[in-house]
A and B are shown apart, each in its own frame.
Chain A
Amino acid sequence: MAYALWTEKYRPKTLSEIRDQSSIVNRLMGFVKARSMPHCLFAGPPGTGKTTASICLARDLFGERYQEAYMELNASDARGIDVIRTTVKEFARIAPLSELPFKILVLDEADNLTADAQHAMRRTMERFTETCRFILCCNYSSRIIEPIQSRCAIFRFTPLPDEEVKAYLMDISSKEKVALSEDGLKAILEVSRGDLRKAVNVLQAAASAGEKVTEEIVYLVLGSAKPGEVEALVKLSAQGKLDEARRMLRKMLYEEGVSGEEVIKLLHGQIFNLNIPEEAKVRLIDYAGEIEYRLTQGADEEVQLTSLLAKMFLEHSQRS
């Protein structure tokens, strides 16, 4: 069955279909050849192929019926020590059927596991190495406890170079008969920043909107947050009308469904245009970075962004 969702439809099926991350892919192919592998830690930003590499590795090792010996668990949905003690252990301790050498358990977003759960996991990994190999995927390896890191082969996935993303997008466009304009492509590359999943999702959404994928349409897809609104947000804050600014922010977040991360990116873009000393801009950039980081940690969008708006007010009030 062909998937309707392009990220699934064009997800590589085997390691040889993965075009980027070649040094990683080569090492994984080595595992396939040897029919053996250590526990692995895949670290890297979103959309760089961690999950895909896991699936491809399993398929190359186990064949089409790989799912009999392969399990994916999502640490951010099923975190906590109970899941490690039950689900993970149950899967890991029973040897695979048939001729397969071992099972593979993929724990996605493993950096969301609590420290306790990670310790419980470490014991499971050791006890059942014979029957099961673990692949832990995470954005930041530093959030995986030391003892687990030392038991894993660590693979660092890097954002895809624009050239690679471009090659993927061109390939999909020709297969889907999408007219992708030069500026449209450039816009997608710019907003996806090496995140292939995002690039493909933006392409598919943009392609649904009309004949041709142009820069304008790409920004339409992303810009449920209209730049004009963010400009007004900054202006109100600069004038100290924080109350109104916050009300506007609420409208964007709760009524228009704009994500906090979109707002912070656009706010960041506005900092350069502000009429404040350069030194103050640097302070705001520093703070905006901190706020964006907090948002990725799941902090409350409105509270965090309002704090940035208040900081903008402060920097404006101290001009001259």
Chain B
Amino acid sequence: MTEPWTVKYRPKRLEDIVGNRKAREEFLKWLQTRLSHKGGKKSALLYGPAGTGKTVTVEAAARSLNLDLVEINASDKRTSQVIERIAGLATTQSTLYGGKRLLLLDEVDGVNLQEDRGAVPSILKVIEDSAYPVVMTANDPWDPKIRPLREVSLLIRFRRLSARECLPFLRRICELEGVKAEEEALRLVAERNQGDMRSTLNDLETLCVGRTMLRVEDVAWLAWRDRLKGVFEALQQLFHSRDVESARNLVEEVDVDYETFFEWIYENALHQLKNPRDVAEAMDRLARAQLLMTRMKSRQLWSLLPYALELMTAGVALAGKGGVGYTQLKFPERLKYLSASRKTRTLLSEASKSVGRVVHASSAKAAREYIPYLRFILKAKREDGLRIAEEVGLSKEFLEGLTA
């Protein structure tokens, strides 16, 4: 079982492929037309970002139509002679059992023109002479060097997969691997990879190895992997800083936005500072900085920002008079809560708006002064709760979230 997951879970059948259904159907239709010699372009060019299912679609289609797939990775074997020899075989001779062939030229935009001036013309020639369908893949179809190929081909676009599309697949893999994964954790993995299924699977495999449980914070770490060093260093410096200016400048130097930096400072000030007076002072200053940021946002008073930044950095740095501990720096645990409750929060804000309309109140007021009671009634006496829910127009989804 040493196969990587990208191989192990590579879809075998067309219907198992995630996403891009239209593109898959279009390709299959073109292929069937070509095979029955009913016209259509002689070649197809499947294009789109990496990991969106181009090659796997070709493989699965060949399998389902019982075609012998002849594959040349254009960026591997660069010489036009190789292309011509292999392609020549594939296009002119019938297979051993008299079956049909499908010729795949993978990554045609990877052709290196410096090394191989003859590649594009020889591919064109193959397309021209071929008795069988020719399919090519590319990430960037607008690359000028493959323009001649583009012009003779049917273009089929593959789009990035949405996290929503990927989720059921990832969930199934986790089940098969015996890993219990939090929904939000899988979503984070998918989102991080921006619709590239191959790298999503690689990440998931890395994360799941040796685990039976995949939680949000495990993934959060992964997302931080690259930037962590910078944040740690900045925090180290902050807690040992003794002047206002250098502490304040850390906000500009660190590789995260100031709100995230705030979270790191807020998490760690409590662990680093030991003396009660220092802790209280640091926390007080953080609370004030946070208040300033709240005011800044709600009243659009952007000029308050510098004060907030100085309080949260220098204010904390200079609070540490009684010495700083050498406790290990910690990941802001709160971020996990905030991201996990994101869905709940969206549902809540929709519900609050809808309640607010009925009770003549703003959504904030509705959330504060109505929803908690409604929640209670729904638990205590469901039929009453449901009548009110209907009256104030609460969505089914929200109700399920409430009672779950």
Q: Which residues of A contact B (CB under 8 A)?
A: 3-5, 7-8, 46-47, 51, 55, 72, 74-77, 80, 108-109, 112, 114-115, 197-198, 201-202, 204-205, 208-210, 221, 224, 240, 242-243, 246-247, 250, 254, 257, 259, 261, 291, 294, 297-300, 302-304, 306-307, 309-311, 313-314, 316-318
Contact A299 B361 (CB under 8 A): no
Q: How far is the CB of B305 from chain A (nearest CB, A)?
A: 16
Of the candidates B361, B373, B375, the one whose C-beta lies within 8 Å of that of A108 is B361
Q: How far is the CB of A112 from chain B (nearest CB, A)?
A: 7
**B370 touches A (CB below 8 Å):** yes
Q: How far is the CB of A212 from chain B (nearest CB, A)?
A: 13
Within 8 Å CB of A291, what residues of B? 287
A247, B384: Cα distance in complex, Å: 36
- Assuming the A-B contacts A77-B363, A314-B276, are A202 and B369 also in contact, with contact meaning beta carbons closer than 8 angstroms in the complex? no
Within 8 Å CB of A300, what residues of B? 290, 294
**Stretch of B175-183, B210-218, B352-360 lying at the A interface:** B352-360
Q: 10 smallest A-B Cβ distances: which pairs? A: A307-B287, A314-B280, A317-B276, A310-B283, A208-B381, A74-B362, A205-B373, A209-B380, A254-B337, A4-B387
* Chain B positions 275-300 with a Cβ under 8 Å from a chain A Cβ: 276-277, 279-280, 282-284, 286-287, 290-291, 294-295, 298-300
Given contacts A250-B333, A314-B280, 5 further A-B contacts (CB under 8 A): A46-B365, A77-B353, A201-B369, A299-B287, A300-B294
- Assuming the A-B contacts A303-B286, A304-B287, A307-B284, are A8 and B294 also in contact, with contact meaning beta carbons closer than 8 angstroms in the complex? no
> What residue of chain B has the Cβ atom nearest to residue A243's Cβ?
B270
**B372 touches A (CB below 8 Å):** yes
Of the candidates A51, A202, A243, the one whose C-beta lies within 8 Å of that of B360 is A51
Contact B279 A313 (CB under 8 A): yes
Contact B291 A51 (CB under 8 A): no
Contact B277 A242 (CB under 8 A): no
A254, B391: Cα distance in complex, Å: 28
Of the candidates B291, B300, B363, the one whose C-beta lies within 8 Å of that of A297 is B291
**B341 touches A (CB below 8 Å):** yes
Within 8 Å CB of A309, what residues of B? 283
Within 8 Å CB of B334, what residues of A? 250, 302
Contact A201 B279 (CB under 8 A): no
Interface of A, helix, strand, loop or mixed by DSSP: helix
> What residue of chain A has the Cβ atom nearest to residue B327's Cβ?
A243
Contact A297 B294 (CB under 8 A): yes
Contact A76 B359 (CB under 8 A): no
- Assuming the A-B contacts A108-B362, A303-B266, A304-B291, are A204 and B373 also in contact, with contact meaning beta carbons closer than 8 angstroms in the complex? yes
A46, B364: Cα distance in complex, Å: 13
Contact B300 A114 (CB under 8 A): yes
**B21 touches A (CB below 8 Å):** no
Within 8 Å CB of A47, what residues of B? 369
Q: How far is the CB of A160 from chain B (nearest CB, A)?
A: 15
Q: Which residues of B contact A (CB under 8 A)?
A: 266, 270-271, 276-277, 279-280, 282-284, 286-287, 290-291, 294-295, 298-300, 333-334, 337, 341, 353, 356, 358-365, 368-370, 372-373, 375-377, 380-381, 384-385, 387-388, 390-392
Contact A72 B360 (CB under 8 A): yes
> What residue of chain A has the Cβ atom nearest to residue B299's Cβ?
A114
- Assuming the A-B contacts A5-B392, A310-B280, are A108 and B287 also in contact, with contact meaning beta carbons closer than 8 angstroms in the complex? no
> What residue of chain B has the Cβ atom nearest to residue A245's Cβ?
B270
Contact B284 A311 (CB under 8 A): yes
Within 8 Å CB of A303, what residues of B? 266, 286-287, 290
Within 8 Å CB of B387, what residues of A? 4
Q: How far is the CB of A209 from chain B (nearest CB, A)?
A: 4
Of the candidates A4, A46, A74, the one whose C-beta lies within 8 Å of that of B391 is A4
A205, B376: Cα distance in complex, Å: 6
- Assuming the A-B contacts A314-B276, A317-B276, are A7 and B286 also in contact, with contact meaning beta carbons closer than 8 angstroms in the complex? no
- Among A114, A247, A314: residue with most chain B CB under 10 A: A314
Contact A208 B385 (CB under 8 A): yes
A288, B270: Cα distance in complex, Å: 20
Q: How far is the CB of A317 from chain B (nearest CB, A)?
A: 4
Q: How far is the CB of A242 from chain B (nearest CB, A)?
A: 5
Contact A221 B270 (CB under 8 A): no
Q: How far is the CB of A78 from chain B (nearest CB, A)?
A: 9
Contact B373 A221 (CB under 8 A): yes
Contact A310 B284 (CB under 8 A): yes
Q: How far is the CB of A319 from chain B (nearest CB, A)?
A: 11
Contact B359 A5 (CB under 8 A): yes
- Assuming the A-B contacts A55-B360, A243-B270, are A4 and B337 also in contact, with contact meaning beta carbons closer than 8 angstroms in the complex? no
- Among A51, A307, A311: residue with most chain B CB under 10 A: A307
> What residue of chain B has the Cβ atom nearest to residue A79's Cβ?
B298
Q: How far is the CB of B195 from chain A (nearest CB, A)?
A: 30
Contact B373 A243 (CB under 8 A): no
Contact B359 A46 (CB under 8 A): no
Of the candidates B280, B290, B356, B384, the one whose C-beta lies within 8 Å of that of A208 is B384
Contact A299 B362 (CB under 8 A): no
Contact B376 A221 (CB under 8 A): yes
Q: How far is the CB of B330 from chain A (nearest CB, A)?
A: 9
Q: How far is the CB of B307 from chain A (nearest CB, A)?
A: 15
A122, B270: Cα distance in complex, Å: 47
- Assuming the A-B contacts A221-B376, A307-B287, are A242 and B279 also in contact, with contact meaning beta carbons closer than 8 angstroms in the complex? yes
A114, B301: Cα distance in complex, Å: 9
Contact B356 A8 (CB under 8 A): no
A80, B300: Cα distance in complex, Å: 9
A198, B365: Cα distance in complex, Å: 11
A108, B361: Cα distance in complex, Å: 8
Q: How far is the CB of A286 from chain B (nearest CB, A)?
A: 13
Of the A-B pairs whose beta carbons lie under 8 Å apart in the complex, a sample of 30, sorted by A's number, is A4-B388, A4-B390, A5-B359, A8-B358, A8-B391, A74-B356, A75-B362, A77-B353, A77-B356, A77-B362, A108-B360, A112-B298, A114-B299, A115-B299, A205-B373, A205-B380, A208-B376, A221-B376, A246-B270, A254-B341, A257-B372, A298-B294, A299-B287, A304-B290, A310-B270, A310-B284, A313-B276, A314-B276, A316-B276, A317-B276
Q: How far is the CB of A23 from chain B (nearest CB, A)?
A: 23
Within 8 Å CB of A74, what residues of B? 356, 361-363
